[in-house]
Every structure is written in structure tokens, then in C-alpha cells.
Amino acid sequence: MTVRAEPAQHAGMRASNLALVLGEVARTSPVSRAQVAARTGLTKSSVSGLVTDLISAGLIVESAPAAAERGRPATGLGLAPGGAAGLGLEINVDYLAAVVTDLTGAPRYHHVVRRDNRDRAADEVVADLIEVARTATASAASQGLPLAGGCVAVPGLAVDGTLVRAPNLGWPEVDLADAVGEATGLEIDVQNEANLAALGEMWFGAHQHEGEPLRDFVHVSGEIGIGGGIVIGGEVFRGAHAGAGELGHVVVAPDGPRCGCGGHGCLERMAGQQEILARAGVATMSDLTRACEAGDRAALDAVTDAGRHLGVALASVLTLLDPAAIVLGGAFATLAPWLAAATSASVSHHTGAADPPALLVSGLGSDAAVRGAAGTVVRRVIADPAAYLTRHTPR
Amino acid sequence: MTVRAEPAQHAGMRASNLALVLGEVARTSPVSRAQVAARTGLTKSSVSGLVTDLISAGLIVESAPAAAERGRPATGLGLAPGGAAGLGLEINVDYLAAVVTDLTGAPRYHHVVRRDNRDRAADEVVADLIEVARTATASAASQGLPLAGGCVAVPGLAVDGTLVRAPNLGWPEVDLADAVGEATGLEIDVQNEANLAALGEMWFGAHQHEGEPLRDFVHVSGEIGIGGGIVIGGEVFRGAHAGAGELGHVVVAPDGPRCGCGGHGCLERMAGQQEILARAGVATMSDLTRACEAGDRAALDAVTDAGRHLGVALASVLTLLDPAAIVLGGAFATLAPWLAAATSASVSHHTGAADPPALLVSGLGSDAAVRGAAGTVVRRVIADPAAYLTRHTPR
């Protein structure tokens, strides 16, 4: 009854059917053509044609036999480990990182360069990042992995490929998508690191294996700054101006001191790494964990105090957003052995909840954002294989 | 290519086309059949058939000529003011209310009974609510308005028609949907009043006329308790356990006193009506506004202090959710002349934002929730007219 032209409708339908089939293979593999047909509602002959296209595009491989529902075992299909790969990059306050992830989500390359980027010019750091990116793309090439694109995680607000605000770096606007895209020949996306860390946790974190994957949760991303990623129904919630989730600037001390953001009494000002290190009287995070392990009083007090402040912010998060879980990531994951009990107690004190959602601890730590960045690239291929096919085939 | 049975597909398509047509008429009226066809992509003959069905179901009327795009003016279509109506009811801590809204959203009956419900048994208050509902349904009948259903706004958590928690009433679980449904013969839904107030503001508030309607905002609902309604993309955000938006229990005074919820330093404990009245040394909200109008120092101090606390909570809301706007409703709308400046200053102090989103003041005040309740009923008819037709025709 609609008035759309037939050919457009047909191309749109083929694209959506390719996505249906690849999505089903991504969800459960090995899976047979017949199972894919049954689960998607497509006919067996349609599935066969679509699978042939996806195999020749290198996105699907025939693997071990799928568990037969009846009769003889059928050929199993799986995502191709040699198919489209994603490049994840990260600029953070005290490190640069790169990850190459294959289509199955497995990391195939991972490199971190620790260096304080706060007193350096943006150009200089971007030049370093491009070096890091080139080494990563060379590794992908040597492994025969075709990169479908890249994504850069940044500690700030990114709009249309440009880093527009990064309070903890103090840079002017930087057009990262252009600079990194030109150097690598890839299409580059730029996203906030706290949001990418939340996605990394959802896709690659251990908690995805506890029953269902987490789809409604808040990820606390503690590096030099404190960030938050709000995931609702499996998607990052970005707010009206892409600024949502700034957990580090929730007010935890209304009469507290001025924060770098211009506000007062923000969580980051009371429980950020610099504050903790200063109170503990140590210089680095590894000094701090060593001091905590040794039972140093000042270090433990500094960490539990930060944990209490974090609990105040999380109490407000729970009351406003009612998430299914909270995941402590980044530095807070590292400090969890000494911090989590104080945080839990503070959450209980401020919410009065007898049974608040568990505080989970991320196993990915500071790698969550760069892994999430690489993951967004391959997830995009799985969500829209037709777009990938158009650009990357015929070969 | 799908394997669904034909008849089901046809019925589903008719239902979705009825909704397309009625939705278009609801969006802009008067509108001609040809305009509806052009905007929905349906053929003119399909639109004619669907419009005939909607007219005979009493949901659409032919009205003034629609502005002709070319040629002679066509007959205009509009929502029928005598079509499906909605009954909104509200139980709050110090009043009961009822509204009947017609299909165009216009209130056709409105009644409020002021009485403190805190020391009364749930049964007794529900009996009063049923009386209020019966008077409202009688008024709808006398106006020839067919009620499509009802919705009860409650100051607490409602699950599947049951009020399961209402801290400020202190009641046990009450199956309101059953009790009110049996007494009125209507299908009854039960929803949190703060969420319904946010919807009422979106649908009926003055701010919908400032350019676009608000679709991403937080509505502050201040009655005896303080609630919040988070609207994202035009929908209420409810969280993982239907508990999201509890603005009254955001922590604004980490070292503050115990709140009724069991937590500590919650906004409601620091800036709720009881706290403000006690600090101002007056007994009722009307005493308080009179004292503020007279420039009474204690009253003004109590109100501005509440405004400061509200600003701390809103700073955290802005930083976490990044809404396009915040709307002050309920008692905070009434107190806005003396409270809003302190709230704005506190928001700026705690966020450091040079240009935070404007604090808008609701024109609906305490009527927002009951109007939102009635609105949900008629909006549901507009979203799914086929379901309404099945139950309410033939006549």
C-alpha cells in the first residue's frame, strides 16, 4: 500500500536481511543455515543466497557442524576471525593506546604508551597518536585483517569528529577525525572515553557472562578525570547536547572547593586521582596500590575517603536512573579492594536501600575505552554489513 | 519473504494504517484526506476508507476546509471533541483529583478535593476516590463523552495496577486498578504521579508552544514529597525497576539528617514542603505564599534555602542527564517567584556552567499529574485506534 519505488525497497530489504542473517550468526555460533532461517523468518533459499554473499565478503566462515535439531548435522556458520576488523585508539591524560579487534571481538593487537599529556601541545600528542595508529594498522595488515574503520576515545566532549572540550588536557578544539583519518586512510569516529568504556564493558567485560549481558547499567570510568557512561537498553545515553553521564561533576560536597570545571564540590574534585594521591602522599597510582597493599594508614584513608564520596554520587545516580547495576572501572577497579566497601556503605547510608544493586568491578580496568572504541567499528559492520560490502567488495 | 500468515499481516497492517491516519490528523488539523495521503505515503483510496472507519467510530470529524495546497478547498478533518475521552484520577498526600479530557486534549471536567490523607486508612481514601471517579464519569456521560479508560496518579511506585510503595502515605499495597475498575467499569492504569506530571507538562504545558514541544526534559514535581519525571525522546524514562526519576532522594547534604526513605541528606528532607513550612513558622502553603508576598524574612529565608538545595540536586541532574530543559512544577511552580533565583544561582555555582539550561516554570502547577493521567488514556487511543474500535464499536 506504500508508494515507494520497487528497486529502492528491494535494496533496502536486502540490506536489512543481510543484517538479520549476520546478526543471528553473531549472536550464536556455530549456527546452521536452517537455524538462521527459522530464527529470522526468512526462507531457506534467501538465507543461502545471503550467506553466500557474506562468505565471499569474508564476514562469515563455515566452521564446525552446528548442533543438529534433527537429522544429520548441518554445516555451522560463524563470524570470520579474518573478516572486517576495527581500530580503537585512545588519547587520555596520561597514556595513549591502540587496539585492533577482529570481527569476533577478539583483541588481535594491543599497545599502551604511558606519558603525561597535560603539559604537551595538542599537535605533538596527535602526532604521537598517529604513530601509534600506524604501528597498529601495520600489525593488522601483517595479520591479514582488513580494517573497516577506526574510533578514537577522548577524555572530553567530541562532536562530529572534533574534540571540542577536554578539561583535563586543556586543549583547543582538535579535528581528530581528519588528522587520524588522513594518516591512516580509514574513516575515523571520535567519542567520549567514558561512553566507550561503558560499551567496552558491555561487549567484552566479564559481567556479560553472568546470565544475561548487562544492558541497563552505569559504568564508572576513573582515570585522571572521573567519567560515567550510562547504558540504557544496550545503547549509550548521551542527553540533549551529548554531555550526559558526567559522573565526575555530580555534587558530593555542596560546600566544597572549586573544581576544574568551574563548579563546586564535584566528585572529581573530592575523589579524583590527583586528590587521592595528594592525600595519600604518594606520586603515582602504582605507589598508591603498593602503599595500600602494605597497609599504609594515609593511603588507606585517602582511598576510603574517595570511596565515601563516590558512594554519595552513586546514591544520586541510583535514585535518578535506577540502573540494573553499577560497574566500577578504570582506576576505581584497581582500587576496588580498598575502596568498594566504603563506597557500598556510603551508598546504603545515603539511599537507605536495604538491598541496593551490587557494585560490580570491571575486569577490563583502563583498557575498557580503547576496546570499546575498536568494538564500535566491528559492531557497525555487523549492524549494517551492506554498507561494508559496498565499500570493501568486489576485491 | 517472511513466513507470517497473510490474514494476520493484513489485520496488523490495517491497525498500523489506522494509527498512521489518526496520528496525522492529531498532529495537524484541519487536514485534508489528500494531505494525509501525501504525508503518510498511503494511497488516497486507502486513506478514504480508513477515514470513513474513523468517522463512524466517532474519532474523526469533518470540519472547516483544510488549507488547499492547490485547486478548490478540500474538506478538513480533525479529532472529534466528542470522541473517546480519558478519565484521570489522582491520590496525593493532601488532595484527591479527577479530570475528564476529550480526544483533542481539552479538559471537560476538573474537580479537586483537598484533605490530608496521611492519617487515614487506605480503604477509606480509596472509597473517597471512587466517589470522585463516579461523579467524573457521570459528568462525562452527561456530556456524551465515551470514556476509553482511566489512569490513577499515585505518590509512589505502582506495578501492574497496584500501588506497592507510597512513603508519604505509609499505606500497605493497594490494588487500585481492580478497586477503581470495578466501581467505574473502566480499564484502569496506575502510574507514578511525578512521571504523569512530566507527561502532562509535555502534552498540555505552555512550554510546548515555544518552538518545538519539549521532548527531553526533567520535570520537578513538588507536592508534600518531591518527585521528578525524566522525559527522553518524548517518553518517560523509568529505569530498570520502574524507580527512576526520584529527584527527592538525590543527596544534597551528605552529612545531613535521616530522611523518611531511610537515606540521609535527601533533597526532600532538606527542601520538602514540611521542612519549608516548619522553617518559615507557618502551617499551610497558602500561609507561606502570603508570608512571602508580605516580605516576611523567615518565610523568604526558608524558601530561598530550599531553592539552594534544589539547585544542588538539579546541578547533579544536569551533569548526569544533560536535558534540554528543566521545568519546575507543583509547589515549586507556586513558589518560583521567591525560589527560582536562588535555585538558578545554586545551579550555576555547582555546575560552573556560564549558560545552564533555563529553569522553566510550569503553568499547570499541581494539576499536571491528573491531566497527564487523563492524557495517557486519549494518547493510547490515538496511538492504537484499532484496539479502541474493537472494544467500542459497532454501536
The tally of CA atoms less than 13 A away on the side-chain side of residue B214 is 30
**Which of A151, A177, A145 shows the shortest CA–CA distance to A164?**
A177
- Local confidence pLDDT in tens for the 395 residues of chain B: 333 333 445 777 899 999 999 999 999 888 999 999 999 989 999 999 999 999 999 999 997 666 555 666 678 999 999 999 999 999 998 899 999 999 999 999 999 999 889 889 999 999 999 999 999 999 999 999 999 999 999 998 899 999 988 888 888 899 999 999 999 999 999 999 999 999 999 999 877 545 678 889 999 998 788 999 999 989 999 988 888 999 999 999 999 999 988 999 999 999 999 999 999 999 999 999 999 999 999 999 999 999 999 999 999 999 999 999 999 999 999 999 999 999 999 999 999 887 778 899 999 988 999 999 999 999 999 999 999 998 875 44
Q: What is the pLDDT of residue A225?
A: 86
**Domain end (from A57, A79, A101):** A79
Residue A139's CATH number: 3.30.420.40
- Whether residue B353 sits in one domain with residue B215: yes
DSSP calls for B13-60? HHHHHHHHHHHHHHHSSSB-HHHHHHHH---HHHHHHHHHHHHHTTSE
- CATH number for B37: 1.10.10.10
pLDDT digits (tens, 9 = 90+) for A88-146: 999 998 899 999 999 999 999 999 999 889 889 999 999 999 999 999 999 999 999 99
- Any domain includes A113: yes
Do B191 and B238 reside in the same domain of the chain? no
- Chain centroid to Cα A252, Å, comes to 26
**Residues 129-188, chain A, touching B (beta carbon < 8 A):** none
Asked, for residue A1, whether it belongs to a domain, the answer is no
Residue A345 near chain B (CB below 8 Å): no
Distance, CA of A202 to CA of A347 (rounded, Å): 23
> Do A322 and B242 count as a contact with CB atoms less than 8 A apart?
yes
Asked if B344 and B388 sit in the same domain, the reply is no
One-letter identity of residue B273: Q
B149 and B244 inside one domain: no
pLDDT at A5: 36
Cα(A371)–Cα(B21) distance, integer angstroms: 46
In degrees, to the nearest 5, what angle opens at C-alpha A326 toward C-alphas A324 and A329?
150
- Pairs of CB atoms within 8 A across A/B: 157
Report chain B residues whose CB lies below 8 A from the CB of A251.
252, 312, 315-316, 319, 350
User: Do A322 and B239 count as a contact with CB atoms less than 8 A apart?
Assistant: yes
Q: In this complex, is the C-beta atom of A252 within 8 Å of any C-beta atom belonging to chain B?
A: yes
Q: Is the peptide bond before B357 cis (omega within 30 degrees of 0)?
A: no
Structural domain contains residue B124: yes
Cβ-contact A260, A168 below 8 angstroms: yes
Q: Given this model, what pLDDT does residue A121 score?
A: 92
Full strand arrangement of the beta sheet holding B162-165:
B157-159, B162-165, B174-175
The residue behind cell 555460533 is: A29
Q: Is the four-CA dihedral B189, B190, B196, B197 of positive or negative sign? A: positive
CB of A216 within 8 Å of a chain B CB? The answer is yes
Co-location of A106 and A211 in the same domain: no
Whether A247 and chain B come into contact, CB under 8 Å, resolves to yes
Shortest Cα distance from B10 to chain A (angstroms)?
A: 11
- Restricting to B residues 283-342, those with a Cβ less than 8 Å away from any Cβ of A are 312-313, 315-317, 319-324
Residues A141 and A218 in one domain: no
B256 with B188, same domain: the answer is: no
Query: B263 and B312: one domain?
Result: yes
Region for A349 from its dihedrals, namely left if φ exceeds 0, alpha if ψ lies in -120 to 50, beta otherwise: alpha
| A280 lies in the same domain as A189 | no
Beta-bridged to residue A189, according to DSSP, are A151
Residues of chain B found within 8 Å of residue A315, distances taken between Cβ atoms: 251, 263
Give DSSP secondary structure letters for B313-360: HHHHHHHHH--SEEEEEHHHHHHHHHHHHHHHHHHHHHH--SSPPPEE
pLDDT at B67: 59
Residues of A in contact with B230 (CB under 8 A): 320
What string of pLDDT tens digits covers the 395 residues of chain A? Answer: 333 333 445 677 899 999 999 999 999 888 999 999 999 989 999 999 999 999 999 999 997 666 555 666 678 999 999 999 999 999 998 899 999 999 999 999 999 999 889 889 999 999 999 999 999 999 999 999 999 999 999 998 899 999 988 888 888 899 999 999 999 999 999 999 999 999 999 999 877 545 678 889 999 998 788 999 999 989 999 988 888 999 999 999 999 999 988 999 999 999 999 999 999 999 999 999 999 999 999 999 999 999 999 999 999 999 999 999 999 999 999 999 999 999 999 999 999 887 778 899 999 988 999 999 999 999 999 999 999 998 875 44
A250 reaches B (C-beta below 8 A): yes
Do B225 and B284 sit in the same domain of this protein? yes
pLDDT on residue A70: 61
Collect all residues of chain B within an 8 Å Cβ-Cβ radius of residue A238.
Answer: 322
Domain that holds residue A17: 6-79
Q: Tally the C-alpha atoms within 13 A of residue B166's C-alpha that lie toward its C-beta.
A: 29
- pLDDT value of position B9: 54
Is residue A64 exposed (0-12), middle (13-18) or buried (19+ Cβ within 10 Å)? Answer: exposed
A322/A386 same-domain check: no
**B1 within some domain:** no
Are the Cβ atoms of B250 and A320 closer than 8 angstroms? yes
Burial of A211 (0-12, 13-18, 19+ CB in 10 A): exposed
Q: Is A343 at the interface with chain B, CB within 8 A?
A: no
Rounded Cα distance, A60 and A19, in Å:
12
Domain membership of residue A200 (yes or no) is no
B93 and B28 assigned to the same domain: no
The identity of residue B137, as a single letter, is T
Nearest CA in chain B to A239: B322
User: Domain count of chain A?
Assistant: 3
In this complex, do A216 and B249 lie within 8 Å of one another by their Cβ atoms? no
Rounded Cα distance, A27 and B87, in Å = 45
> Which three three-digit cell numbers place residue B60?
474523526
Give a yes or no: residue A201 inside a domain.
Answer: no
pLDDT number for residue A358: 80
Task: For the full predicted model, state whether its pTM sits above 0.95.
Answer: no
Q: Is residue A100 part of a domain?
A: yes
Q: Which of A45, A79, A113 is the last residue of a domain?
A: A79
Beta strands in chain B (DSSP E): 60-66, 74-79, 85-91, 95-101, 107-114, 147-154, 157-159, 162-165, 174-175, 188-192, 217-222, 226-232, 235-236, 325-329, 359-361
- Write the CA distances from B277 to B224, B267, B272, B281, B287, integer angstroms: 11, 15, 9, 6, 9
